[in-house]
């Protein structure tokens, strides 16, 4: 009888262990990754001049989702010529209209579920135009460089770069100073005078110098 009870207890323990393992596996498999926010971008026609692009947006649950009154809100224009707006990540589907302060305006662009770039296509009436989807340009990031201390040397290579491109920053020490390394957020990222990396975000790099205390040896 004791052996039977022990055998049953072992079977029960194995069942519990198997249930926990499969439960964990199912949880991991069924876990839904977080979705990214929707960004809509529009490249305005050249004849709009300096007029900003306005964005009007609504959802099935909220007919005035973005902006209290027509034509909505002006959206900022980037260096790539596209005016863009990023919705909160809770927005999963949205309808939009682009306009030049209300007129002319695009036709209704409905059921937008992912980040998309648009351009002017053609007028369909006097004050309404159609749009076409285009490949979104690579985002641009800023690489900022500085010397510490400023009298220790000079730096080159800073500027605006498209995502995925290569950037090389270079430090040149002045007389009486030596270069000690590139840092970012007080962490050393390179000890080479020229530091090359792929641009994937904004970078703020500091070239550090210190006074050269080595004795001067004249050439004879």
Q: Is the pLDDT at 144 greater than 60, yes or no?
A: yes
Domain ranges of the chain: 39-134, 140-211
Which pLDDT value is given to residue 68?
A: 75
Extract the tokens encoding 54. 């306005």
| Structure-model confidence comparison of residues 66 and 20, the more confident one | 66
CATH fold group of domain 39-134: Immunoglobulin-like (2.60.40)
What pLDDT digit, counting tens, does each position of 87-97 carry?
Answer: 999 999 999 99
Extract the tokens encoding 21. 């393992």
CA 33 → CA 26, 29, 70, 87, 88, distances in Å? 15, 11, 35, 18, 17
Which pLDDT value is given to residue 129?
A: 98
Task: Quote helix, strand, coil % in the chain, to nearest 5.
Answer: 15, 45, 40
- CA dist., res. 75 & res. 82, Å (int): 10
Mean pLDDT, range 33-62, rounded to an integer: 88
Q: What is the mean pLDDT of the chain?
A: 85
Statement: the pTM of the whole predicted model exceeds 0.75 = no
Report the candidate in 136, 127, 125, 132 with the shortest Cα–Cα distance to residue 41.
Answer: 136
């Amino acid at each position: 009888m004791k052996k039977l009870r022990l055998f049953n207890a072992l079977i029960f323990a194995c069942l519990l262990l198997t249930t926990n393992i499969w439960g964990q596996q199912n949880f991991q498999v069924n876990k839904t990754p977080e979705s990214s926010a929707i960004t809509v971008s529009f490249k305005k026609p050249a004849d709009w001049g300096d007029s900003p692009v306005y964005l009007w947006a609504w959802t099935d649950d909220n007919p005035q989702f973005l902006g209290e009154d027509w034509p909505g809100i002006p959206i900022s224009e980037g260096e790539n010529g596209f005016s863009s707006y990023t919705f909160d990540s809770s927005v999963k589907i949205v309808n939009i209209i682009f306009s030049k302060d209300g007129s002319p305006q695009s036709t209704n662009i409905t059921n937008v579920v992912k980040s998309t770039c648009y351009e002017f296509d053609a007028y369909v009436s006097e004050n309404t135009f159609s749009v076409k989807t285009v490949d979104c340009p690579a985002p641009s990031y800023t690489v900022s460089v500085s010397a510490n201390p400023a009298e220790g040397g000079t730096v080159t290579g800073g500027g605006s770069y498209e995502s995925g491109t290569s950037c090389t920053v270079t430090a040149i020490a002045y007389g009486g100073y030596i270069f000690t390394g590139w840092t970012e957020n007080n962490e050393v990222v390179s000890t080479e005078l020229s530091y090359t990396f792929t641009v994937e975000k904004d970078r703020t790099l500091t070239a550090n110098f210190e006074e050269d205390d080595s004795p001067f040896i004249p050439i004879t």
